[in-house]
Amino acid sequence: MHLRTAHIATIVVGSALVIATGFALVTKTRTTSVSADAPVGTASLAVESKSVKVGDQFSVNINLSTGSNAGNNETTGTDVVLAYNRDLLEPVDADPTAPGIQILPGKLFELVQANKANTTLGEIDFSAGQQPTSKGVVATDGLLATVTFKAKAAGRSPLKFIYTAGAVNDSNVIQPTTGRDLLNHVQDGVVTIN
């Protein structure tokens, strides 16, 4: 009986060792794939500034630039979190057939993964990328999306990208080979409402 218990304990400990070793390998692989030595390109997001009147409906473009350093600047996905003053601006739905409020996607990516305006917070969350089965990457400059707003009251509303350098849980541009955030510059906008 004690021999059988010892044998079972050996199997359990041996399995735990394999799991722990597998985890250590996965962790090491992840660390290597995002190391500081990995080649990283550059990318930027920019939103236009506008001057409008109360009651006007207007659009602003969100542009993505990955520069000209092909390879290091390729991306398979981009996320945008754009904040606005909810007391001054109201997003206009680009797709009334879908629930919620959406913005208009550009043509850079094949798939829109998230597209919603949170009018309570005054934020727009937009995420687009390539299909998982696609071999294509984006290495270009172009229109990522267009936001249409209605001006509710006079004042100045920032259009501010929520962005932390190197973070991948806010506005970011992901490099496919390293998983790192290429985004190193954002150009916020402002809407002046008279």
The pLDDT tens digits for 128-159 are 998 766 666 666 688 999 999 999 999 999 99
CATH code at position 176:
2.60.40.680
**What pTM does this model have?**
0.76
Q: Does residue 26 sit in the same domain as residue 112?
A: no
What is the CA 15 to chain-centroid distance, rounded? 38
The pair of three-digit structure tokens given for residue 35, joined into one six-digit string: 């190391």
Ramachandran sector of residue 21 (left: φ over 0; alpha: ψ -120 to 50; beta: rest): alpha
Q: Does the residue 25 lie in any domain?
A: yes
Percentage of the chain exceeding pLDDT 90:
52
Burial of 5 (0-12, 13-18, 19+ CB in 10 A): exposed
CB atoms inside a 10 Å sphere around CB 167:
12
Give CA separation, 52 vs 4, 145, 147, 149, 155, in Å.
81, 20, 15, 11, 10
Between 28-37, 55-64, 124-133, 140-149, the lowest mean confidence (pLDDT) is in: 28-37
Q: Does residue 16 sit in the same domain as residue 51?
A: no
HSE on the CB side for 22, CA within 13 Å? 6
pLDDT score, position 159: 97
Q: Name the residue range of residue 55's domain.
A: 43-193
Q: Does residue 139 sit in the same domain as residue 175?
A: yes
Q: Does the residue 38 lie in any domain?
A: no
Average pLDDT along the chain: 78
